[in-house]
Amino acid sequence: MTILPPHSGPERMSTGAFLEMVDARPREERWQLIDGEPLLMMSPPTLVHQRIALNLASALNNALEVARPDLFALVEVGLQVDAHDDFRPIADVAVLDAEIEAVSYATRFYLVTEILSPSNSREHISRKHALYVDAPECMHVLIVGQDDFCLELWSRAGNWQGRVFRSADDIITLPEFGFSCRLGDLYKGTPVR
């Protein structure tokens, strides 16, 4: 992410000021607000990044169709955590209610995924993770590498203790969604070996 401070002063940007700023920017720009700091995301994401996100969303939706048809996975999702007014992230993949509203930011989400890329600092991803867990319906936070087989799984049911998967044959299981797949399946069609 590239930090571009469109406002002066050391104070944090409010959500209202952020939304006003984003409305005035070109539509192709992808902005997030983390702790009151506006961040311009890399645009567009790499093809590997996009393929991993679509592989995950597709696998989730296949499982949800059977186990939880009331839920649906989407990519590039604006989220809002009510406990943090200065936080408006765009998640790479999120599981939401299947019936959606005509809004830019979902307030109810059950899983959120961040795919690491060179423009993401580990600090920003860690901070986003810490804020995502404050969403009352959020059950899982996934952090996925795009350069090698790596997935961190953080679950509410596990008291937010993280598990790391590094082998293509590791099985990722999310019982609340009827979901299970090999880690390697998320990298199908990418150069990650």
* DSSP 8-state class, residue 41: P
119-128: b or e for each residue (b if 16 or more CB lie within 10 Å)? bbeeebbebb
**Max intra-chain CA distance, the chain:** 51
* DSSP 8-state class, residue 187: G
| Domains in the chain with CATH codes | 44-187 (3.90.1570.10)
Q: What is the pLDDT of residues 56-83, one digit of tens each?
A: 999 999 999 999 999 999 999 999 999 9
Residue 14 CA neighbour count, 13 Å, CB half:
3
The CA radius of gyration of the chain, in Å to the nearest whole number, is 16
C-alpha 6/C-alpha 91 separation (Å) is 22
**Cβ-proximal residues to 62 (8 Å cutoff; 6+ apart), any chain:** none
Q: For all residues of the chain together, what is the average pLDDT?
A: 89
Q: What is the pLDDT of residues 144-181, one digit of tens each?
A: 999 999 999 999 999 999 999 999 999 999 999 999 99
C-alpha 106/C-alpha 5 separation (Å) is 25
Identify which of 130, 126, 88 has the alpha carbon closest to the alpha carbon of residue 107. 88
* DSSP 8-state class, residue 179: E
Q: What is the mean pLDDT of residues 107-132?
A: 88
For the whole model, what pTM was predicted? 0.83
pLDDT of 156: 97
Q: What is the mean pLDDT of residues 29-48?
A: 77
pLDDT band at 132 (very low <50, low <70, confident <90, very high): very high
